[in-house]
Amino acid sequence: MTEKIAVKDITPGNAETYDLYAKRDKIHTRSYKGLFKNIRVIGVAFLFALYFGTAWLSWDGRQAVLFDLPARQFHIFGATFQPQDFFLLSFLLIICAFGLFFITVFAGRVWCGYTCPQTVWTWIFMWAERVTEGERNARIKLDEAPMTANKLARRTAKHTIWLTVSLVTAITFVGYFTPIRELVIDTFTWQIGGWALFWIFFFTAATYLNAGWLREQVCIHMCPYARFQSVMFDRDTLIVSYDPNRGEARGPRKKGVEPAAVGLGDCVDCQMCVQVCPTGIDIREGLQVECISCAACIDACDEVMDKMEYPRGLIRYTTEHNLAGEETKVLRPRLLGYGVALMIMIGLFISTVSGLAKVSLDVERDRNVLFREVRGGDIENVYIIRIFNKSQEQQTYTLTVDGHPGLAMNLPANRLSVQPNRILQLPVNVQLDPALMETTNIPITFSITSLDDMDISAESESRFLGPTVR
């Protein structure tokens, strides 16, 4: 017999509908304590120290990390990169992407829960909210209360902290592109340039809105990672999960009561896991796209289990296979594939960076005159030579030209000294007896070698032009 397809009633009034323009319900998170919160606090402290501290580090008399766009030089501690090295940024972004894929396959959205800038700054803003407006119930009452002097003072204090954190964040970010010591002085003495002021205002507003007002809306609706991360999940991926086999049926009871004695599971339906969730979901409803794996619900639930004298782990990091009573496979083809690809790319990146030249030589022919005849009848070509010393020490170079045994080069000096991370530009005249020319276009090569380190050298090809050979 052929099975009939089930019919769904879509009669108006019976179908489930959703209001796409429903007003957002503000989420008031509750304070809690636990292992994963401590890990997050340590992580946030480290990330803040890294972000705000690195901009103030010095290296050989300059800012250690500075992306100097006007000079087209990008300094990262002892290394200096030029625009032609920009491919390394693409390489690095690909490595970061594969690293994120690897972490996601192994442990779900731990990036979102612990290290994502949106999450890190949101936790800081939520802390400011608790300090100024009180705990969850006090904040809910404050929202519903009419505007009074007390409410105005608390709201003013909260937004002052938010704006201060946002401003410091913006100044630090711009400080990676403009020397931060001068930037801070210029900002507070009102001598700052227009572009720097614009970007400080822009990032202050972006931080204030994203971490203060939008919060979970960024994670749920704006972040693409929330949408495609489920593609990388499998039944062996670590996720934050509620154990329904142990927790159901839910219900309140007195402390010390055995769940089986009252026909209930371990879940006391206290709603603590919902009240601490920064995205406002109920983890007991299963894996959801809004979950950022911050483990706040684990800490809250473990705290309740301790009070009820029940074993911890009703909500925990686990896998779907583990919840189903099956064995979890840690090493699996997808995870190994991402891991191998990641290691190969990291190795290639390190090899490429370590092999970057410490000097570059650029040669440009004078475009005003192809060639000219000088006293004595020789043919002369003029070139503009640019030597970029990418090393961290002053270098002295010798310049030679090859391509024809009769070439003669006139230099302002026999030795060319260039300061670290500086470009030396000078004109160079190259002459050749026309009687020695077999063609009107001779390929030549300019070469420089450091007298301080013979391993530092560079070459650049060009052309020597002359009159028609008869």
Give the residue range(s) of CATH 2.60.40.10 domains in the chain: 359-465
pLDDT digits (tens, 9 = 90+) for 30-67: 999 999 999 999 999 999 999 999 999 998 788 999 99
CATH assignment of 359-465? Answer: 2.60.40.10
State both tokens at 161: 């902290």
The pLDDT assigned to 21 comes to: 61
pLDDT over 70 (residue 70): yes
State both tokens at 341: 């690809």
pLDDT digits (tens, 9 = 90+) for 204-213: 999 999 999 9
Identify the three-state secondary structure at position 262: helix
Any idea what the Cα angle at residue 291 is, between residues 287 and 295, rounded to 5°?
100
User: CA–CA separation, 90 vs 100, rounded Å?
Assistant: 15
In terms of pLDDT, which residue wins out, 11 or 337? Answer: 337
Long-range (24+ apart) CB contacts under 8 A made by 221-224 are 223/112, 223/118
pLDDT digits (tens, 9 = 90+) for 2-17: 444 454 454 555 545 5
pLDDT band at 1; cut points 50, 70, 90: very low
Identify the three-state secondary structure at position 441: strand
The pLDDT assigned to 24 comes to: 73
**What's the whole-number average pLDDT of the chain?**
90
User: CA–CA separation, 197 vs 114, rounded Å?
Assistant: 31
pLDDT digits (tens, 9 = 90+) for 230-255: 778 889 999 999 999 999 999 999 99
The strand ranges marked E within 332-419 are: 359-365, 372-373, 379-389, 395-402, 408-410, 416-418
* DSSP, res 376: T
pLDDT band at 83; cut points 50, 70, 90: confident
The pLDDT assigned to 62 comes to: 86
Sequence length of the chain is: 470
pTM for the model? 0.81
The pLDDT assigned to 285 comes to: 93
